[in-house]
Structure 1
Amino acid sequence: MIHFEGELLEDQNAKLDLDNRSFNYGDGLFETIRVINGKIMFWEDHYFRLMASMRILRMEIPMNFSPEYLEEQILQLIEANGLSQKPVKVKINVYRKPGGLYRPTTREVGYAIRTYELENPFYILNEEDYEVELFKDHYLTSGLLSTLKSTNKTLNILASIFAEENAYQNCLLVNENKSIVEAINGNLFVVKGNKIKTSPLSDGCLNGITRKQLIGIIQKTEEFTFEEASISPFELQKADELFITNVISGIQPITKYRKKKFENKVAKQLLAKLNTTARLG
């Protein structure tokens, strides 16, 4: 079952209008959330990111879109799908209602919530080979809009196809200034000695929830220093570690970039702290 426009429906009964603006113009947002045994991980961060993104896109936020209301709908759907004692991925889609061409005739929104069962309740480090390459056919534009989880992900799709065609596990996206911004499906962190670095939001990287949590974790440790600054392609081969973060997989170590192979000691250490934060959060 899914939550569609505030109602619990069987999947086959949820009909998407062909005039849907997310379908036609990418006029929509999505939020991907991890839920463990009925507890939404980092819910406050997810909620406020979604609300901020809706404001940036000039969407009208419904009066009932409180954190309590949306949390109740998520948990109700999880229970209806028999997943209350399971690890679950939840996807919320929000889209402007039909009307108009590029210029919409309304700012009201519709929404849908779906659930997918996950294998593991907490983050497990994937230590299999994970090779990446730069995707340079098209650039990610720096600026505020690129930080949103919008439904316009053409660049990510093309980069995914490029990775598949060339037997890479992922690609790193580059902005118009030739800075490394992020991976296809998450934020990039670079480790060199005791310094950990990630791209700033101003470079166009996703305002990731796990990114935010991990920055907080790193800043509380005494053994690492943290820097939020543009990443040059030349820094990648000089790094000790590279890893990708997102809310579903947690931390994914990169094992190879071109001729350089990487370890994953820091990734392991931070993943343990991330799991602890998720349990307590």
Structure 2
Amino acid sequence: MKNLANNVGVSTIGIATFFLTVVVVVLIEHFTTFNIFTLSFFIVFPAGALICGAAAASGYYFGALWLHRRPTILIFVQILLVAAIAQFAIYYGEYRLLDLGDGRMASDVVSFKDYLDVYLSSTHLRVGRGALDTGAVGNFGRVLAFTQFLGFIVGGIFVFVMLRVYPVCEQCARYLRILAKKTQLFSKQEDFTRFYDTVFEVPVDGPDFVTLMKWQQEKDEKAVRGTIQSETTLRGCPHCKTQRISQEIKVWGEKEFRDVPQLTRHLRIPDGIDLTSAFKTV
């Protein structure tokens, strides 16, 4: 019974974010004439549709995390349906709000099907830094609409994948909550090597671990090419209190830190040890 209630809860939150996304996109278009989901790069990369599809399905992500429901085929199907329907729901919302300017609404004059046909064929493209208007694209508007449809779908799939890879307690299969984070920078390779090779070798509930986690380079030192960043995250299960440490390593390139996935590692904390206070002291 509890599982059924949780499934219904996840679906309810998912449907709520679907409606919220549609309403927000429609109202923004109505008051500004800017349609978020039509935003694209290189004409055919539907960035706006990806964002809107992910936003429409985001309720399933947050609902599942909140209610500790693992992603199932049922949730996946719902996410796909919500992401797919969102585009047409936005079209319909814009259709219902379109004022023809003579006291008549578009919905009083033409059917939704006819409106959509005219809308897609009269779509305009704006390209280049000056946003040059290319004029109505005609039948190519349907191609653009299809790429946007795919963008909505991919956005929904992205949400599902993020839910699938979210850390889970090995004992009770509940989602782990973030308890604390610690970011450390190393300008010298030898300092990082000493830290990386030692920090998980000492007892995590001892003073040496706290000392290593406290290490930090001088505050006035800025990240330069080759600077190494260690981000250590402590997660815990709200049910059985199991804790796990995840450590991700990044290296500063020309303009930003880049992941070094082969150095990412995880450590399960022995039962009965709580590192929350230890992380807070660092």
Instruction: Report the TM-score when normalising by structure 1.
Output: 0.21
Instruction: Report the TM-score when normalising by structure 2.
Output: 0.21
Larger radius of gyration: 2
Higher helix share: 2
Highest RCO, 1 vs 2 (Cα 8 Å, sep ≥ 6): 1
